[in-house]
Every structure is written in C-alpha cells, then in structure tokens.
Amino acid sequence: MPDIAVPRGVNPFYLPMRPVRGRLIRLGPLAQALLSRHDYPPSVAALAGQALALVAALATALKFTGSFSLQVKGDGAVRMLLADCTDGGALRGYASIDHDKLAALLAESPEPSAKQLLGDGYVAFTVDQGPDMERHQGVVAIQGETLEDMALHYFDASEQTACFIRLACDRIATGWRASALVMERIAGAGGVDPELDMQAQDESWGTALVLAATVKDSELLDDATSAETLLWHLFGTEGVAADRPRKLNYGCRCSRARLSEVLATFGASDLDHMQQDGAITMTCEFCNMEFRFDRSEVIQSPSS
C-alpha cells in the first residue's frame, strides 16, 4: 500500500473581518497514488479526482472525529462514484464503470461531462461520527452538468450556508493532480467586522465570489505555486489570512483481518462456491489490492 502523505494538502484561509472562510485543497502526488490504482479512462479519472478533492475540503471542516463521504449513483457509464475522507485527512475513493456504456459514450463524446458519465440518479453526502453516533445523510437528485453543480445543488436544497465550489483534476507532466477551492459564507457573529451591516456583508461575499471565480485550473494544479501564493494572488486585495495547513494521506482502510471477518460471516457452501483452486481471492474496491485466503484457513462463524 502506498505510504504517502501531503503535509500541506489542506490550506484553510479567511478574509479578516469579512464573512468568508474557505479551504484550498491540493492533493499533489497523492492524486497520482490514488487514481493510478485503477485503470480508469482519463474522463473517469478526472471525475474521481474531483470527488476526492471535494470530500477532502468538506471532511477537514468537521469539528469532531469522523468522516465525510460522497456517493453518486446513476444509470450512466459511471454507475457509482464514491469518495470519503476522515477529519484527519485519510482519503480514498473509487468509480464503478459499465464498460459497454462508457465505450458507447466515448464514441459519441470523447470528453463527456460529469452528467453524461453519471446519468440520472442521486447524490448523497454522509457525515459519520463513529459507531456510537447516528450517521447524518442528505440525498438529492443529480442536477447540473458538473460535479461542482451537483454539490452546490445539494447545499442549496439542504439550506446550508451559501458557498462556492471550484474543482479541478487533470494529468500533467508529473502525473495526476486534483484540487478544490471551497468557500463558505459565515454568520455575521464571529470574526466579522461589527460595523458591517447586512448589505455590506452581502457586498463583501459578492466580491469574494468574483475573485474566486477568476482562478484557473492550471493555477490550482500547479505544484510550483505555493498555496499561500495562490491565495494571495486571488484575495490579496481583501487581506487574505491563512490558518495552519493540514495533511492529507492515502487512506484506504482495508486489511486482511477485516476481510477475514467478512468471510467468516458466510456459510460453508458459500465459501466453497467462492473458492477457486483451493483459494478465495477478495479485491478491495478502493485500492484494488487483492487478498488471497486458502479455503482451508477460512472457517465460517457458528451463527452462519
């Protein structure tokens, strides 16, 4: 398993005395490590990379120990898009593909949109605070042409705080790179100039939106430009300030022990059916790693 971490993958920032906070996510070489585990066509890899950057931005805003996941399920060539990230920055994801549908789609449209890849279906965001807490999930229909549009539709439908989302993923000279720029409008209580009335706060948020919209994909994905430099380039006129950066790391949580526990839930006849040449092989959908178990070593639980 790749042992890779990006120390400055999450770059929180704010505009002092303005109702604006955000995070600049840059996966760096972590994007290459995650996406290269699967033989995705470029359009699917780009969509998966955007999903990874998005959940990294949302999970690292959590105020508790847990994880944030995105699941998009549709009737298109990409049947399932899944990404999740813990509050500590452990990141993983995968895309399930209908290869026949994808081949037909690419023949018609070599660079399909997210909507074309996913088709009709739903978008679900899930916050998991651990086994002792109830999971919170919100679901909306797929709407919009891009993953950005779909995420913004979710936040609009759930009446969350106004936000801005920009996602980028592409394969450059150094490999796959993925990035996200996410901003939220915060309530007028904490950290906002008390002399700013609502109209002034609206104008300040509007200015931040205009400035954020000028960012280019090439800037988001450029390893040579530091996060601080890019944030100053975008928001320097507003006096942007950065909080402490946080790391992102390769976060597949599969293990031989966990899969062995899964196998133990099956009955003997099912295990016999799974085995081939005396062995059972299981593949993790996230990291695409195969685990081989000798059938003689796998014993079903008494309750099976």
Q: Does residue 303 carry a pLDDT above 50?
A: no
Instruction: Give residue-wise pLDDT tens across range 194-212.
Output: 666 778 788 889 999 999 9
**Span(s) in the chain for CATH 3.90.1280.10:** 256-297
Q: Does residue 233 carry a pLDDT above 70?
A: yes
Among 189, 185, 181, which Cα is nearest to 202's? 185
Q: Does residue 301 carry a pLDDT above 70?
A: no
What percent of the chain is modeled with pLDDT above 90? 60
**Span(s) in the chain for CATH 3.55.30.10:** 5-189+196-250
Q: Which pLDDT score is estimated for 118?
A: 98
Q: What's the rounded mean pLDDT across residues 72-81?
A: 96
Computed over every residue of the chain, the mean pLDDT equals 87
Instruction: Quote the DSSP letter at residue 173.
Output: T
pLDDT confidence band for 187 (50 / 70 / 90): confident
Three-class SS string for 20-82?
EEEEEEECCHHHHHHHCCCCCCHHHHHHHHHHHHHHHHHHCCCCCCCEEEEEEEECCCEEEEE
Q: Domain 5-189+196-250, what fold?
A: Hsp33 domain (3.55.30)
Q: Which pLDDT score is estimated for 149?
A: 97
pLDDT confidence band for 302 (50 / 70 / 90): very low
Q: Which pLDDT score is estimated for 284?
A: 62
Q: Which pLDDT score is estimated for 220?
A: 98
The CATH class, in words, for 256-297 is: alpha beta
Q: Which pLDDT score is estimated for 304?
A: 42
Q: Which pLDDT score is estimated for 198?
A: 77
Instruction: Give residue-wise pLDDT tens across range 154-174.
Output: 988 876 678 999 999 999 999
85 pairs with which residues across the strands?
A: 68, 91
Looking at beta carbons, which pairs linking 217-221 to residues 24 or more positions away fall under 8 Å? 217/168, 217/170, 220/26, 220/166, 220/168, 220/179, 220/180, 220/181, 221/26, 221/168, 221/169, 221/170, 221/172, 221/177, 221/178, 221/179
pLDDT confidence band for 87 (50 / 70 / 90): confident
Candidate from 35-44, 45-54, 222-231, 284-293 with smallest mean pLDDT: 284-293
What percent of the chain is modeled with pLDDT above 70? 84
Q: Does residue 104 carry a pLDDT above 80?
A: yes
Q: What's the rounded mean pLDDT across residues 239-259?
A: 81
Candidate from 44-53, 266-275, 292-301 with smallest mean pLDDT: 292-301
Cα(8)–Cα(179) distance, integer angstroms: 12
Instruction: Give residue-wise pLDDT tens across range 256-286.
Output: 666 676 677 777 777 777 777 777 776 666 6
Q: Which pLDDT score is estimated for 268?
A: 77
